[in-house]
Amino acid sequence: MTDLLAVRDLSVFYGARAQAVERVSFTVAPRAVVALLGANGAGKSSIMKALAGLIPARGEILFEGAPVGALTTRQRVARGIVYVPEGRAIVGSLTVRENLVLGGYQATAVQRRERMAMVLDLFPEIAPRVDGAAWKLSGGEQQMLAIGRGLMAGPKLLLLDEPSLGLAPLLVRRVFDRLAGIRRDGELAIVLVEQNLQMTMRLADGVHFLRSGRLVGHRHRDDLQTRAARQEVIDAYLGAAGQHAA
Ligand code: ATP
């Protein structure tokens, strides 16, 4: 089976000397959820932005078997690679509906209508607020809107950058459970960037650990079923203050 995404030796530099990502390689199978876990500054967002075509990178990015590294962001969106940035980058002054329409800018009117209905069905919290200003939504609802906007593009691969950032655990669980639902029902694959192993495990099939721009370890979800196994990877790879296996 061909991988949906194959990343080979991806490197990202900021300026001549600062290397944020160093020869990172991984694959994403169709319908898989692959997580990249690492502390602040490990290079997670840089990988996502490089995959989305927002920053230059070295190395090879194959999507559905074809190289996409030379394509613009817009062309990648048209292929089905859609980035949802961290920090719920929605347009607060626009309505919820207008934000969603923006996400489907390359779609036909019929597709937009269908996807809008799907998104509002998936996140009923935002449905009654669809004609209200986006800034009035709560943090969790804004995150749902940001993901919804990504889904409006009809992605095959969703690049989700720290969707849990600043959200209460209960809300994160809700958002992740909805994503698990979409994934069960459709063809969607996800690259998920997170700092928290516990949340990641709700959704991911496999986890890559990233430190100082390099992939330093990988675990399949089956290998992370016990508390001891999770604590072992936290100690080995994340060294994360305040992070405990559960
Ligand atoms: P976080 O969880 O804090 O978002 P991250 O794992 O996503 O961190 P990146 O944002 O990819 O990490 O940053 C990786 C490295 O690149 C860091 O050392 C960071 O300081 C540096 N970096 C990120 N963006 C820039 C930039 N625009 N210019 C210069 N250096 C940058």
Q: Which atom of ligand 1 is nearest to the CA of 14?
A: 29
- Per-residue pLDDT of 213-226, as tens digits, reads 999 999 999 999 88
Q: Which of 89, 95, 149 is nearest to 122 (CA)?
A: 149
- Per-residue pLDDT of 103-162, as tens digits, reads 998 889 999 999 999 899 888 889 999 999 999 998 888 988 999 999 999 999 999 999
Confidence of residue 242 (pLDDT cuts 50, 70, 90): low
Evaluate: CB of 16 within 6 angstroms of ligand 1: no
Q: What is the 3-state secondary structure (H, E, C) of the chain?
A: CCCCEEEEEEEEEECCCEEEEEEEEEEECCCCEEEEECCCCCCHHHHHHHHHCCCCCEEEEEECCEECCCCCHHHHHHHCEEEECCCCCCCCCCEHHHHHHHHCCCCCHHHHHHHHHHHHHHCCCCHHHCCCEHHHCCHHHHHHHHHHHHHCCCCCEEEEECCCCCCCHHHHHHHHHHHHHHHHHCCCEEEEEECCHHHHCCCCCEEEEEECCEEEEEEEHHHHCCHHHHHHHHHHHHCCCCCCCC
The average pLDDT across 71-85 equals 95
Residue 64 has pLDDT above 80, yes or no: yes
Evaluate: CB of 14 within 6 angstroms of ligand 1: yes
Residue % of the chain over a pLDDT of 70? 96
Evaluate: CB of 85 within 6 angstroms of ligand 1: no
Q: Whose CA is nearest to atom 1 of ligand 1?
A: 40
> Which tokens sit at 235?
């100690």
Quote the CA–CA distance of 196 and 162 in Å, as a whole number. Answer: 9
Evaluate: CB of 100 within 6 angstroms of ligand 1: no
- Structural domains of the chain, ranges and CATH numbers in brackets: 1-80+158-246 (3.40.50.300), 87-154 (no CATH)
Most confident listed range (5-9, 108-112, 175-179, 226-230): 5-9
Q: Whose CA is nearest to atom 16 of ligand 1?
A: 20
Best residue for ligand 1 mutational test, from 21, 46, 165, 200 (most atoms within 8 Å of Cβ): 46
